[in-house]
């Protein structure tokens, strides 16, 4: 969950909201990757995971010769997470069966401290326990499907109630038909209600045959691609091989960050289109990077995360509104701002690292996909061109969110979520992207790939998050050839088939849907002013790893902010 920060001229928003965990060593602690994902997901953190641990764990089942243990679930994030750990351990370690007592969980509708919103009650957790049990009793070995199913079920549980939102990405082997077909609902129809909770990408290998996955991409846009070799060997792709990230194991859900197992990332977003000139943008980068570097000083309650984060100090300083900038100033000026901006960030990193007495950041820049944050700044998201001049932006909300009545009273369309109609609603917002910027159907698949390559070369030493929109009929057959060329120029990429307005959607309740100007004006005219009522701010639920919590301000640190 991020808090927008507004700078006087160049707006920027900072987030510490992504992580990755590998299952490669799952034999050492079978439940830990799942527990890590659930714990961070409940904090609003998007988590990536791989399936490398498939086949290494036997599902033993609970020891039914022992008396069942009654596990009373505490009414807290930690309580929910501990319940899932207890259930998994009973199957992986053959401990006594677990019987859950949900009586302490606050009823539906009661307020949640800290995050805001209201409780969904114990129902979503009860369903999660049942879902995980069904996964574990159907086989003797932890398979690729088992790993992804459990992670996806956890994701569905998290988004089912209150205002918490999260994201997942699953990484699999390019030769695994089991993994590639996870979102083929003709083959796996039972996964349709929950498979949407993760993006699925393969760890692509340089020189591989891409033809085998093209058909799946044309159908639903997956799998995506992550070239782990490029992620480990290179910073920016215009620079020589440095092998800085040889320990890297994957990335975050939108794949703008290279990450080691248990590593979390710190993202900060800038909007060069909102800056008056290059010097103004460099000034924005100074304060944006200072914020992000400061965030790396904080510890988490996961020792494994602290170890890698304190060593890497990884930052992802991103830029959004790229399409608008190109339309206004051209590609060569963008290259100049990227080069000068990247050099300035390396200088700031040296200054701030010396002042904080910490290592320099292993990597510093990325391009995140953005979305709602960029809308607040009036910018197009990340490097992406808008879906159309006019479009519908959809957001998911808990049925019990206080925002539901606010939006309904203002005539914003609301409808039950197709995958969770009992607990979740989808709100629709009409958007006008503005004049002068080309829309995505005017930008070819090859140009989108080229722009991602451009930013990977001149700006991002982590990754560029890019979802290439393509015409399934005319450009779909070209995907395998495009990947042959761009595998040397990218670290990750994903695809989404584009359907013309009036034709079928790629999937129900898509986050973006094109509309015409008449529909936009009709929707806009029906809206009323949003009326928010502020209530008493609740004292937050805190996590403490000791008997008491004590927060002390750090000693004042004087940092000289030199001119450029």
Q: What is the DSSP letter of 232?
A: H
Q: Examine the residue annotation and report whether 276 is marked as an active-site residue of this protein.
A: no
> Quick one: which of 469, 449, 483 has its CA closest to 214?
483
| Nearest-angstrom CA–CA distance, 472 and 470 | 6
Token pair in block for residue 494: 């994903």
Token pair in block for residue 21: 């965990």
| Nearest-angstrom CA–CA distance, 182 and 168 | 14
Whether residue 223 has a cis bond before it, omega within 30° of 0: yes
Contacts 24+ apart (CB under 8 A), 139-143: 139/59, 140/58, 140/59, 141/55, 141/57, 141/58, 141/59, 142/26, 142/30, 142/53, 142/54, 142/55, 142/56, 142/57, 142/58, 142/59, 143/54, 143/55, 143/178
- Phi and psi (nearest 5°) for 490? -135, 165
Alpha helices (H) in 185-277, listed in sequence order: 211-220, 228-233
- Phi and psi (nearest 5°) for 430? -80, 135
Contacts 24+ apart (CB under 8 A), 557-562: 557/355, 557/356, 558/355, 559/290, 559/351, 559/352, 559/355, 560/351, 561/286, 561/290, 562/351
For residue 101, what are the CA distances in angstroms to 72, 126, 541? 5, 10, 21
- Phi and psi (nearest 5°) for 70? -85, 120
- Residue-wise over 260-279: b if at least 16 C-beta within 10 A, else e? bbbbbbbbbbbbbbbbeebe
Token pair in block for residue 280: 């103004």
Residue 86 host element (H or E): helix 77-92
> Quick one: which of 403, 545, 536, 550 has its CA closest to 113?
536
| Rg (alpha carbons) of the chain, rounded to whole number | 23
Q: Which of 18, 146, 157, 254 is catalytic?
A: 254
Q: Which of 222, 256, 269, 387 is catalytic?
A: 256
SS3 content of the chain, % helix, strand, coil (to 5): 35, 15, 45
Alpha helices (H) in 398-531, listed in sequence order: 402-409, 445-458, 479-486, 517-526
Q: Examine the residue annotation and report whether 254 is marked as an active-site residue of this protein.
A: yes
Q: Which residues are catalytic?
A: 254, 256
């Amino acid at each position: 969950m991020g808090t927008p920060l507004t700078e006087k001229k160049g707006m920027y928003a900072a987030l510490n909201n992504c992580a990755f965990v590998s299952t490669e060593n799952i034999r050492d602690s079978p439940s830990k990757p799942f527990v890590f994902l659930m714990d961070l997901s409940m904090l609003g953190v998007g988590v990536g995971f791989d399936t490398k641990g498939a086949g290494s764990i036997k599902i033993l089942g609970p020891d039914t010769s022992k008396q069942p243990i009654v596990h009373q679930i505490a009414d807290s994030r930690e309580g929910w997470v501990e319940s899932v750990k207890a259930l998994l351990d009973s199957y992986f370690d053959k401990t006594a069966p677990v019987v859950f007592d949900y009586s302490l969980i606050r009823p539906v509708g009661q307020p949640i401290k800290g995050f805001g919103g209201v409780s969904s009650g114990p129902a979503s957790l009860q369903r999660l326990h049942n879902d995980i049990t069904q996964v574990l009793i159907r086989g003797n070995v932890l398979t690729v499907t088992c790993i992804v199913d459990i992670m996806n079920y956890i994701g569905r549980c998290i988004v089912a109630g209150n205002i918490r939102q999260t994201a997942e990405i699953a990484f699999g082997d390019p030769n695994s038909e089991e993994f590639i077909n996870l979102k083929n609902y003709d083959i796996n129809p039972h996964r349709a209600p929950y498979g949407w909770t993760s993006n699925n990408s393969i760890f692509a290998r340089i020189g591989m045959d891409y033809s085998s996955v093209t058909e799946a991409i044309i159908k639903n846009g997956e799998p995506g691609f992550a070239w782990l070799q490029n992620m480990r060997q290179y910073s920016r792709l215009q620079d020589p091989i440095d092998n800085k990230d040889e320990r890297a194991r994957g990335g975050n859900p939108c794949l703008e960050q290279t990450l080691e197992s248990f590593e979390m990332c710190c993202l900060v977003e800038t909007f060069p289109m909102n800056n008056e000139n290059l010097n103004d943008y460099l000034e924005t980068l100074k304060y944006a990077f200072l914020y992000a570097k400061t965030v790396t000083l904080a510890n988490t309650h996961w020792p494994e995360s602290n170890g890698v984060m304190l060593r890497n100090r990884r930052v992802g300083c991103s830029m959004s509104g790229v399409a608008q900038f190109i339309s206004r100033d051209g590609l060569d000026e963008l290259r100049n701002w990227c080069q000068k901006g990247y050099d300035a960030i390396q200088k700031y990193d040296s200054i701030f690292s010396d002042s904080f007495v910490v290592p320099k950041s292993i990597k510093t820049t990325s391009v995140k996909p953005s979305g709602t944050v960029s809308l607040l700044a009036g910018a197009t998201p990340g490097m992406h061109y808008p879906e159309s001049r006019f479009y519908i932006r959809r957001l998911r909300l808990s049925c019990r969110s206080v925002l539901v009545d606010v939006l309904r009273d203002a005539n914003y369309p609301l409808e039950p979520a197709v995958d969770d109609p009992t607990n979740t609603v989808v709100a629709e917002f009409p958007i006008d992207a503005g004049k002068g910027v080309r829309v995505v159907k005017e930008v070819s698949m090859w140009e989108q790939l080229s722009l991602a390559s451009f930013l990977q070369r001149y700006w991002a030493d982590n990754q560029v998050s890019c979802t290439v929109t393509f015409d399934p009929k005319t450009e779909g057959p070209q995907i395998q050839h495009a990947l042959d060329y761009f595998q040397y120029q990218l670290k990750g990429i994903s695809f989404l088939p584009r359907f013309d307005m009036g034709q079928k959607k790629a999937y129900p309740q898509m986050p973006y849907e094109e509309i015409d100007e008449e529909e936009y004006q009709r929707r806009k005219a029906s809206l009323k002013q949003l009326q928010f009522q502020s209530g008493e701010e609740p004292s937050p639920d805190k996590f403490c790893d000791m008997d008491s919590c004590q927060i002390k301000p750090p000693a004042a640190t004087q940092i000289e902010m030199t001119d450029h």
